[in-house]
Amino acid sequence: MGQLIDGKWSTQWYDTSKSGGKFVRSQAGFRNWITPDGSPGPSGEGGFAAEADRYHLYVSLACPWAHRTLIFRKLKELESLISVSVVAHKMPDETGWNFDKSEGSTGDALFGRDNLWQVYTQAVPDYTGRVTVPLLWDKKTGTIVSNESSEIIRMFNSAFNELTGNTDDYYPEALRPRIDEINARVYDDINNGVYKSGFATTQDAYDEAVTKLFDALDWVEGLLGETAYLTGDTITEADWRLFTTLVRFDAVYVGHFKCNRKRIADYPNLSHYLKALYEVPGVKETVDLNHIRTHYHWSHTTINPHRIVPIGPELPFLD
């Protein structure tokens, strides 16, 4: 794990010494929005109008945050409008995310760079911050639109509707308060909760995170006893945001991140729900378990120093 400091790549693991052993995720640095006419969005600068062949998405197939954006690109029929580069599954400290084609990367389709940090410094030569995926690039102005997945999926949900004719809405007006409420707990305690458990460096920090994680999974298991999806009988953004963590849970988080009070396979409603979302047309093509399993176990050497990728477990939702 490394980061950019004044435009230079520097190798260092997350510093948990000032937070009592807790992993604290930093805020994404680029927060502009694509809108239908280029008017400014809720944050950042305007000037990013929805146009075909103007934007490029950098993703990892291992990353749950990037995975959200790939699902929205697929469901909203944006594949022919927004091109993609996939980074390698192995992320060495020396380079961070990189475009090694022998390790599952497509290569950098825009610039032919070796490493993702070079795309960040292409936009801001003296950038300081983490080099994360997903990253949404504007080919027209040669800069980064956004590296915040929760905002990229909102853009994909509606900004391109006139170009694609796809008006499916995963953030419908009437459900927004409920979606926001569910997202808040799912983000803190589940999406980020698995990372807080896995990257904790004290027993107390781990205990706190893992307890909240399983309390939240129990809560979701209850909700799914009432309705098919989190906010009712239709799939919304809240479901896709939970899905990308659930699909990695038994394969990676149970063992690698010590989230092992239960597996998703032990929760009947969550298991059924995971399978139903996985079977939505187009979605399983966005799930790459080889990238997922290899990335985490190989890349986090403070947790898994010998980089051994475990054999299992078998995953019932694949059957």
Ligand X SMILES: N[C@@H](CCC(=O)N[C@@H](CS)C(=O)NCC(=O)O)C(=O)O
Q: Among 293, 15, 34, 243, which residue's Cα sits nearest to residue 138?
A: 34
- The reply to whether 241 sits near ligand X by the rule CB under 6 A is no
Residue 148 engages ligand X in binding (rule: CB under 6 A): yes
The single residue listed with the structure tokens 């990728």 is: 309
Q: Does 16 bind ligand X (CB under 6 A)?
A: no
Asked about 127 being catalytic, the answer comes back as no
Residue 238 interacting with ligand X (CB under 6 A):
no
Q: What is the DSSP letter of 18?
A: G
Residue 149 engages ligand X in binding (rule: CB under 6 A): yes
Q: Is 132 annotated as a binding residue?
A: yes
Tell me whether residue 92 or residue 255 sits nearer to ligand X (CB atom): 92
Q: Which residue number, 248 or 271, has a Cβ lying nearer to ligand X? A: 248
Is 68 assigned to a binding site? Answer: no
131 is in an annotated binding site: yes
Residue 19 annotated in ligand binding: no
**Catalytic residue (choose from 14, 55, 58, 63):** 63
Please give the residues from 48 up to 67 whose contact with ligand X meets the rule CB under 6 A. 60, 63-65
Tell me how far, at minimum, the Cβ of 178 lies from ligand X, in Å. Answer: 21
**Nearest distance in Å: CB 34, ligand X:** 15
The DSSP secondary-structure symbol of 98 reads B
Work out whether 248 is an interface residue with ligand X (CB under 6 A): no
What b/e sequence results for 15-48 when a residue is b if at least 16 CB atoms lie within 10 Å of its CB, and e otherwise? ebeeeeebbeeeebbbbbbbbeeeeebeebeebb
Quick one: 76 or 89, whose CB is closer to ligand X?
A: 89
How far is Cα 220 from Cα 225, in angstroms, rounded to an integer?
A: 9
Q: Which is nearer to ligand X, 108 or 221 (CB)?
A: 108
Radius of gyration of the chain (CA): 19
Determine contact, residues 75/143, Cβ cutoff 8 Å. no
63 is annotated as an active-site residue: yes
What DSSP string runs through 100-130?
A: -GGGT----TTT--SBTHHHHHHH-TT--B-
Examine residue 28 and tell whether it contacts ligand X (CB under 6 A). Answer: yes
**224 versus 246: smaller Cβ distance to ligand X:** 246
* Cα 12 to Cα 16, 52, 113, 127, distances in angstroms: 12, 39, 22, 16
In the complex, minimum distance from the CB of residue 131 to ligand X, in angstroms, rounded to a whole number: 6
User: Do the annotations mark residue 97 as ligand-binding?
Assistant: yes
Residue 299 interacts with ligand X (CB under 6 A)? no
User: Which H/E stretch holds residue 146?
Assistant: strand 143-146
Q: How far is the CB of 1 from ligand X (least distance, A)?
A: 5
Retrieve residue 76's tokens: 């909203």
Q: Which is nearer to ligand X, 133 or 254 (CB)?
A: 133
**Binding string, 107-146, against ligand X, x = CB under 6 A?**
-----------------------xxxxx------------
- Pairing type for strands 2-5 and 135-138 reads unpaired
Say which of 120, 195, 206, 267 is annotated catalytic. 195
Is residue 227 part of an annotated ligand binding site?
no
Number of residues that bind ligand X (CB under 6 A): 16
Asked whether residue 106 is marked as a ligand-binding residue, the answer is: no
State the Cα–Cα distance between residues 129 and 233, nearest whole angstrom.
40
Alpha carbon 159 to its chain's center = 20
Only one residue has tokens 């080099």, namely: 131
Active site members: 63, 195
Binding residues for ligand X (CB under 6 A):
1, 3, 28, 60, 63-65, 130-134, 147-150
